[in-house]
Chains A and B, each alone.
Chain A
Amino acid sequence: MVQERRILYEHLDVPDINTFDVFRQYDGYKRFEKTIKEHQPEEICDMVTQSGLKGRGGAGFSTGLKWSFVPRDIEPRYLCCNADESEPGTFSNRYVLEKNPHLLIEGILICCYAMGISTAYVYIRGEFTLGKRMLDAAIEEAYRHGYLGKNILGSGFDLDVYSHPGAGAYICGEETGLIESLEGKRGQPRVKPPFPAVEGLFHKPTVVQNVETLCNLPFLMGQGVEWYTSIGRTYGDTRFDPPQSDPNTGTKLYCISGDVNKPGVYELDLGLTAEELIEVAGGVKGERVKAVIPGGSSAPILTHYELECRLDFTSLTLWKSMLGSGGIIVMNETRNIVDCLLNIMKFYAHESCGQCTPCRWGTPWVRDIVQRIADGEGRQTTIQRPRFGIAEGGRWGDTGEMEEVYEDLDLLESVANNIANVDTMTWNTICVFGIAVSWPAVSYLRKFRPEFEAAIREGKLVTLPVEEATVPPEENYAYQQRIVPRLFEAPA
């Protein structure tokens, strides 16, 4: 079985690790000290790029590359640490804030030193009252010991860190929504470009980074790029491995919930398969897996045929899904996919910020269609295929076959695809919330169509056995795409 490799979470359960003294005993802030002694800021940026570190908040964008977009000649620059963690199924940042907040501060220190930033805000979702209290206490301690404030450790580097509470809006996790919210406005995302790296908080260059991404930095700087890139699974041993031009390095805090025996956060090398992860989490609770959401509720769903898929940033993209925030939700054979989609669509309909018409109207519309299907009132009509010929009675007329169509399913897909088209990956909205709505809607429908059809046909929710509920691999739009060129064949 795959072994956990605890790096970020190694000392999470040490008693009082949230205090400065205990944190110090476990190498706390020593990696930061080493960094400012041994490296120039530019070197750090290069190291982060070489390490292949990808943002853990959702987009999986290369952190080093993002840093390289920040203009160095505009002052001041800001760091916003994204601790909004509201993607359903994700709960790894919470533990860092509540149990080991000094680690986050150390990560922030390294990032700000590398980027020449002297003010950082940690945007914490409003419900994390304990997390905020712990972080505030840690910040105060760090000031007291001279790790924050003016002229830190005599290096001439200044840094102020402040926590900032959100107030319960999911969309404030989106980086520009977060910035607007931090500025004291409604958390409505901005049109991009300009990207925050160029024009962000208070219209200054801003780095937005997830908690987990920042927590990787102390270890990366402490033990070097070579060590960091050595972490990760060997590729080439499953049938569907992606080309390794864009390696997945480091560990990921996989959050697994739903129908497994031991839900929780598991820190594992990036790139294990969904099957393996479920095994690590104590196996499926119930008879068997029906479906898996691989990256928070926004990610397209995987069927039981697709569990061989590696949970990393590049492989999941090839499977037309995403690792997103790393929140894995498992559903067993007793679950009804229509019902699950309804739950998720209620979430999105509630959380749309309301700026763009397709999202503001489309999302509740999708929810209403799914609600209608779940209530047993899904619409079905009979249509006649167009064909002109000699009809009954020897007259010219329509002779096409009569066909039952599931009107509501076509409508559902069409509305969702008009918010954001999942096939062309284009969206008619300001932010990618649009994709986060249409991805689940379309993927659930296409991959579990029999269950939707049954609900309409029978006039009530029917939970079909796994095999019957799932579209077979040959008809699965995502499955078709996944076989990628093999670049690993040994030379003859």
Chain B
Amino acid sequence: MSNELIQIETPFQFSEENQRKFDKLIQRYPVKEAAMLPTLHLAQKQAGYISPAVMEHVAELLELPVMKVKDVVTFYPMFFEEPVGKYVIRVCYTLPCALRDCKLVLEHIKEKFNIDVASETDLAKGTTPDGKFTLLKSECLASCDVAPVVMVNDDLYKNLTPEKMEEILDGLE
């Protein structure tokens, strides 16, 4: 399977800087496999998502069968197997945020971009056609004191209302 995919996709390589980071990472663990999660994070940062080519490369670096990498990628919600928007919006939807009307924020984003909430198996339905935003529901983000909260890529926004959310989204390039 992997051979076919490799032929249609451009092979993936770490950039020089990321390769340096990887070389440092790998020294932290007595077995290479343990560097899996940080390596995948690094690769996803560079490539945007974990394509088969990325898996192939990570497997090579960690000296593992590709299947093992795929196994891990499918388990963790933070790894995407399809392209996602430039900004990934995660709206926390667990109880404390639900008690603080996170629903209004979510509905507002859905309406604004005319998209649905992406699911792990269908990221496209939650992505704007221009590929700028992807909308996801998230589990408790450990900030329930400032609920409702939303994460946009690596940044956390607190005490949100639909209006505040609108302002934040408009401010993103």
- Which of B68, B77, B95, B145 is A169 in contact with, Cβ under 8 Å? B77
Question: In this complex, what residue of B is CB-closest to A339?
Answer: B98
Contact A125 B142 (CB under 8 A): yes
B118 touches A (CB below 8 Å): no
A164 touches B (CB below 8 Å): yes
Known: A86-B139, A202-B30. A165 touches B94 (CB 8 A): no
Contact B34 A94 (CB under 8 A): no
Question: In this complex, what residue of A is CB-closest to B75?
Answer: A186
Contact B36 A184 (CB under 8 A): yes
Contact A259 B99 (CB under 8 A): yes
A463 touches B (CB below 8 Å): no
Q: Mark A67-92, 1 if CB is under 8 A from B, else 0.
A: 00000000000000000011111110
Q: Mark B21-38, 1 if CB is under 8 A from A, else 0.
A: 000000010110111111
Question: In this complex, what residue of B is CB-closest to A169?
Answer: B76
Contact residues, A293-341 vs B (CB, 8 A): 293, 297, 327, 329, 331, 335, 340
B62 touches A (CB below 8 Å): yes
Least CB distance from A265 to B in Å reads 7
Question: In this complex, what residue of A is CB-closest to B40?
Answer: A167
For residue A93, which residues in chain B have a CB less than 8 angstroms away from its CB? 142
A391 touches B (CB below 8 Å): no
Contact B96 A183 (CB under 8 A): no
Contact B72 A185 (CB under 8 A): yes
Least CB distance from A267 to B in Å reads 14
A88 to B38, CA, bound (A): 25
Contact B78 A126 (CB under 8 A): yes
- Count residues on chain B whose CB falls below 8 Å from chain A CBs: 40
B6 touches A (CB below 8 Å): no
A446 touches B (CB below 8 Å): no
Q: Mark A165-177, 1 if CB is under 8 A from B, else 0.
A: 1111110000000
A255 to B142, CA, bound (A): 10
Contact A331 B38 (CB under 8 A): no
A343 touches B (CB below 8 Å): yes
Known: A86-B142, A264-B145. A343 touches B37 (CB 8 A): no
B115 touches A (CB below 8 Å): no
A125 to B78, CA, bound (A): 10
Least CB distance from B126 to A in Å reads 16
For residue B66, which residues in chain A have a CB less than 8 angstroms away from its CB? none
For residue B37, which residues in chain A have a CB less than 8 angstroms away from its CB? 126, 164-167, 181, 184
Contact residues, B43-84 vs A (CB, 8 A): 62, 68, 71-72, 75-79
For residue B138, which residues in chain A have a CB less than 8 angstroms away from its CB? 127
Contact A297 B145 (CB under 8 A): no
Give the segment of A242-250, A344-352, A375-383, A468-476 that binds chain B: A344-352
Most chain B CB inside 10 Å of its own CB: which residue of A128, A183, A184, A255:
A184
For residue A87, which residues in chain B have a CB less than 8 angstroms away from its CB? 140
Question: In this complex, what residue of B is CB-closest to A128?
Answer: B142
Least CB distance from B148 to A in Å reads 11
Contact B143 A162 (CB under 8 A): no
Least CB distance from B96 to A in Å reads 4
Known: A88-B96, A183-B31, A183-B33. A127 touches B79 (CB 8 A): no
Question: In this complex, what residue of B is CB-closest to A166?
Answer: B37
Known: A126-B78, A165-B38, A297-B95. A91 touches B156 (CB 8 A): no
Contact residues, B79-112 vs A (CB, 8 A): 79, 90, 93-96, 98-99
A181 to B75, CA, bound (A): 10
Contact A184 B33 (CB under 8 A): yes
Contact B142 A170 (CB under 8 A): no
Least CB distance from B145 to A in Å reads 4
For residue B95, which residues in chain A have a CB less than 8 angstroms away from its CB? 88-89, 258, 293, 297, 329, 340, 343-344, 347
For residue A293, which residues in chain B have a CB less than 8 angstroms away from its CB? 95
Contact A91 B144 (CB under 8 A): yes
Most chain A CB inside 10 Å of its own CB: which residue of B37, B40, B151:
B37
A90 to B142, CA, bound (A): 6
B154 touches A (CB below 8 Å): yes
Contact B140 A167 (CB under 8 A): no
Contact B139 A170 (CB under 8 A): yes
Residue contacts A-B, CB under 8 angstroms, 23 given: A86-B139, A88-B94, A88-B96, A90-B140, A90-B142, A91-B145, A127-B78, A127-B90, A164-B38, A166-B76, A167-B40, A168-B78, A184-B35, A185-B68, A185-B71, A186-B71, A186-B75, A255-B144, A257-B144, A297-B140, A329-B99, A343-B93, A343-B98
Known: A165-B37, A258-B99. 9 other contacts (CB 8 A): A91-B142, A94-B142, A94-B143, A130-B154, A168-B76, A257-B99, A297-B94, A297-B95, A347-B140
